[in-house]
Amino acid sequence: MDKRPHVISGTDERYSVKLICRNCRDPIPNIIEDFASGDLVCGDCGLVLGDRIIDTRSEWRTFANDEGDDPSRVGNAANPFLDGAQLDTVIARGGDKGSGLAKDLNRTHGRTTAQRHERNLVQAYKEISALCDAYDIPKTIVDIAKQLYKKVEDEQLQRGKSNDAIIAACIFLACRQDNAPRTFKEICALTKVDRKDIGRTFKFLKSKLGANTGTTSSNDLIARFCSNLNLSQETWRITKLLTEKAKEMEHISGKSPLSIASACIYMASHLIGDGRDAKAISDIAGVGEATIKSTYKIIYANRKELLTPAIMDRNPKASESNLIVP
């Protein structure tokens, strides 16, 4: 750090108070900030006008534990997902000249409940972030999942539950709350947790936390499925119109939104001559081929109601003759 004194002008516009020496009474004082001693000194008579002054200049020293340039006066920003002031004391393991006292103190301190609680949260947050990064899930959803997990931890709802299932259910809930739902199969593939375990934990957390999960509609899933199947934007728009019409049909009541979306993708892709087979759609959507075909059979039987001019006129290749007869 620069140790040279800093001369202050009495008319410096950076300061709201005019500084003068009470001995000299000079209207243009010669006041010096001596940062080495922390004093404010009159340069003419040597009177100390103030002591213990704070150096407000830029910091050039490094306080990092590791090598590197880290001229920061403060530590990391507070983590909103952790409790307390986050100013923990860590007892070093060495420095006791081989007596082993420091190691014992470190072990005892590490067993405290508060530190273990925080350690569990940090580990869970790392796992949530890693899982979501693998599927390119947005940070907003990651933060919601962390908030949900913290509520579970604070209310001690994790007792008797698998921690992996709780993390999977929190991610599933977070996706729904952020209007970007994922299917159970996608969460199963992501977390390697059994679907039944995720379903049970999801229902349990939903009832205990009172989380507003909303409902999953077909339109929430279509865009992602069409993208994964390399279908065009026009196919996606036609599929969206088909699902909106299909939901109004009485014959299809009782079918899940996922089944309806898969069947409508199957119909729309063949309608414009860019068909995808049921197996390809099944692999992406996580719906059985038999379910897709049975749902398609229903909407094909009512195709006259579904294939309105608004749908048929969207693409010149659209033709009812392109559809596969179930």
Q: Whose CA is closest to 79, among 130, 152, 129, 133? A: 129
Neighbour count for residue 141 (Cβ, 10 Å): 22
Residue 40 · residue 50 · CB < 8 Å? yes
What is the per-residue pLDDT for 168?
A: 92
Taking the model in full, what pTM does it have?
Answer: 0.61
What is the per-residue pLDDT for 10?
A: 46
Non-local (6+) Cβ contacts of 182 within 8 A are: 135, 171, 172, 175, 190
Ordered mean pLDDT values, 10 residues apiece, the chain (326 residues):
50 61 85 83 87 72 55 61 63 69 76 65 89 89 91 84 90 87 85 89 84 68 86 88 83 80 90 89 87 90 85 84 86
Helices (H), 7-162: 101-110, 113-134, 139-154
What is the per-residue pLDDT for 95?
A: 65
CA–CA dist 257, 129 (Å, integer): 29
313 token code pair: 């006129």
Q: Name the CA radius of gyration of the chain, rounded.
A: 33
What is the per-residue pLDDT for 257?
A: 81
